Structure 1
């Protein structure tokens, strides 16, 4: 990754790990815009950012289902909380259905964050952790908690039928929940997690299916669906434009 672009992600405190996957930052220190490709990763992003052309603002990004080219303006600094989907209901207390493949700006003063909080990443991490801890629910629907645990542990490879049976929740009700809360089906979400798990293999140069794909053709089709390119081109990651893959290669 070039010296004028920095990104890093760290794991959350265990106290909030049921709802947060990581907390990180992007910094485009260049005086030129940076073109990137954002790929679906099954996470809900809460960005706190500013750039040379944009004042401090907070943006909530829903679950993506296809790749999208974006441009990071010059001198962009963004701190990012990567939430697990369960956080939408219990921490953010909102539905994401209306921002599937989209985003919305949140009000000024959201969670009492401002531009000064972008001066120190460690201080931001502590403040975000404290705020999320304050918002932790007293109870969580155990069907939902177990459902997401199974989806994550299987890298999205369990069928909807099997998940339904294991959590004692009908597939019809699960899909209604997913569509109303996230704007996509459970099967689509599982496919996204399987794709993300495959990225770890592609980052290691493994260009054949390591997970439950029917065959090589199916594997290539799914990778192209969520990244826009075939596994070979994705692996090359020219100009580090696939940010998610760049982060994986750093780990």
Structure 2
């Protein structure tokens, strides 16, 4: 499977990390299970097979053709039974509150049908778009429109995200609230509203994502090296955290990657200009 990535245009970069698209092609429309790891970034997904929704949850209920999803702090599984086209937008962590004025903590491990809070017929517009360029234009136009409506941003929380990014392994809530000159309780409340998960949980997910990236490079000798590099107590603590956010142990990473059942591990990624 190939996943194509594209960077956002300049006006969108404060809110969008990247765009992506791919096709799931399977003979006989066999069910395909793919796992999603914990991810602190929200996003949008549009998917269909000849106009029909193909992605379903474990209980068989179909997901909307176009939906906004929030940050997640646990792994989950979805299923696909079509030769699906998927197009996605991955946002910066604060985008749900900034762009859509939705308290991000209401979106944790949750999703919303795009038709219900953006434009009533946006799914129809997407389904009627036969070219990739048309779909890109719809999403770019939508995001630009939402940017013009941004009322306020919490620059203190934005600063805290920068501090976490640059020193993930050594960060704590006490250090952050002290650096930002704000009470711990107020900081946690504002962080939850704009990011959607508690700051302590966000730090844990960030450490997991960085350790995952290092695991994928293969540039390490022992798991304990990764554990100590990212501030875990020991190797056992690292393995426990990794499984909590991915659903499997680090030693099983190659098994999940080779089976191509994990969306984050699909190896053939193509960057578009």
TM-score interval w.r.t. the shorter chain?
0.7 to 0.9
Matched ranges for 1:146-161 at <5 A: 146-155=159-168, 157-161=170-174
Mapped contact 1:195–1:226 kept (Cα < 8 A):
yes
Structure with bigger RCO (C-alpha 8 Å, 6+ apart): 2
Of 185, 206, 215, the match for 1:172: 185
Is structure 2 residue 249 aligned with structure 1 residue 241? no
Whether the aligned pair in 2 keeps the contact of 1:26 and 1:78 (CA below 8 Å) is yes
Which among 6, 10, 28 is matched to residue 6 of structure 2?
10
Is 2:75 the partner of 1:67?
yes
Residue 82 of structure 2: SS of its match in structure 1? coil
Alpha-carbon offset, residue 184 of structure 1: 2.6
Q: Distance in 2 between matches of 1:23 and 1:249?
A: 12
Q: State which structure, 1 or 2, has the greater radius of gyration over its C-alpha atoms.
A: 2
Task: Give the TM-score normalised by structure 1.
Answer: 0.85
Separation in 1 of the partners of 2:121 and 2:170? 40
Give the match for residue 48 of structure 1.
46
Q: Report SS of the residue matched to 1:46.
A: strand
Question: What secondary structure sits across from 1:80 in the alignment?
Answer: strand
Q: In structure 1, how many angstroms separate the alpha carbons of the residues matched to 2:238 and 2:269?
A: 20
> What does 1:1-251 correspond to in 2, within 5 Å?
5-30=1-26, 31-51=29-49, 53-54=52-53, 57-107=65-115, 108-110=120-122, 113-117=125-129, 119-136=130-147, 137=150, 139-155=152-168, 157-205=170-218, 206=220, 208=223, 209=226, 210-236=229-255, 237-247=257-267
TM-superposition CA deviations, 1:199-240 (whole Å, max 9, x none): 111112246213221221111111111011110102332411
Aligned length: 246
Cα 1:115/1:221, change in 2 over 3 Å = same
Segments of structure 2 that go 5 or more residues without pairing to the other structure are 55-63
Is the 8 Å Cα contact of residues 203 and 249 (structure 1) preserved in structure 2? no
| Partner SS for 1:43 | coil
**1:110 deviation in Å?**
3.8
TM-score (norm 2): 0.79
Alignment check: 8 A CA contact 1:33 1:71 kept: yes
**1:127-168 CA distances to partner (integer Å, 9 max, x unpaired)?**
423432333237533212212222233346421122222223
Gaps of 5+ in 1: none
